[in-house]
Amino acid sequence: MPGKLTTLPLMLLAAFAAAASLGAQETNAPAPDEKLPIESEWDGYSPSLYNKGDQTFSITLGTIVPLFYMRGTGELAENKTNIGGAGSLSYSYFLSHHFALGGEFGGMFAGTLGGNTLFVMPFGLKATWQFVASPFEFPLSVMVGGASYGYLDTNYFGIIVKPSAGAYWRYNADWSFGINAAYWWLPQWTADNYTTIYGNMLELTLTARYHF
């Protein structure tokens, strides 16, 4: 009889402890609609740095190197132009993650062997396809448009085709900086194949690009 009296309080005490433990677990259990406090590794992840509607404005400065001049007959013409300077302003509007359309306006000057100066002011539409390997960006572009020439008292207006490639470093959300190489193809057509000239020049420049 004394053994039973001693065992009964111990059993009641164990039952009370088990009930208290279950009550605590139910109190701490999350509500059915409550999300568990687990942070996803994908929070803030963006599959692409550029989206439709993103825009850029670029300022470019550097040098221009006259490569060669070709006559309409296929003969090389004498190159009388020295290395000069070049610069441009351009705008691009992204239509997808990689493709952008825009425009460019620029100019170049170069001295000649006779001590004079050749001026060319090109402008046109520009299409760009850009590869991104963050924080680096590699745009491939082509600009097609018109070009106004000035040399002594002679003026000429023709077309320009300007393919280019660049490599940029994305400094922050607003700015990127890079280098460019562009090829200028400048035809000057006349009624005579011998006086028709195709100018070929290489542009090497630095660019500051603003993103908005």
Distance CA(21)–CA(19), nearest Å, equals: 5
pLDDT given for residue 210 in this prediction: 97
Residue 111 lies in a domain: yes
In a domain, 41, yes or no: no
Q: Does residue 11 sit within a domain?
A: no
Question: Per-residue pLDDT for 11 more than 70?
Answer: no
Quick check: is 159 in a domain?
yes
Tell me which of 115 and 57 has the higher pLDDT. Answer: 57
Q: What is the mean pLDDT of residues 167-175?
A: 95
How many Å apart are CA 203 and CA 123, to the nearest integer?
A: 15
Q: In this structure, what is the dihedral angle of CA atoms 157, 162, 53, 135, given to the nearest 10 degrees?
A: -150
Both tokens of residue 116?
């004079």
Closest CA to 110 of 87, 79, 82, 152: 82
Tell me whether residue 6 is in a domain.
no
Rounded to whole angstroms, the Cα distance separating 43 from 182 reads 40
Whether this model's pTM surpasses 0.85: no
Q: How confident is the model at residue 143 (pLDDT cuts 50, 70, 90)?
A: very high
Q: Is pLDDT above 60 for 170?
A: yes
Predicted confidence (pLDDT) per residue in 81-113, tens digit: 999 999 999 999 999 999 999 999 999 999 998
Q: What angle do CA 172, 62, 132 make, to 5 degrees?
A: 35
**pLDDT for 60 beyond 70:** yes
Which residues form the domain of 115? 55-211
Q: Using the structure block, give the residue that is written with the tokens 């109190």.
A: 27
What value, to the nearest 5°, has the Cα angle with vertex 171 and ends 166 and 172? 125
User: Rounded to whole angstroms, what are the CA distances from 76 to 38, 70, 159, 198, 208?
Assistant: 71, 5, 20, 10, 36
Q: Output the domain CATH number for residue 169.
A: 2.40.160.20
Residue 26 lies in a domain: no
What does pLDDT average to over the chain?
Answer: 84
Number of domains in the chain: 1
Q: Please, which pLDDT band fits residue 76 given cuts at 50, 70 and 90?
A: very high
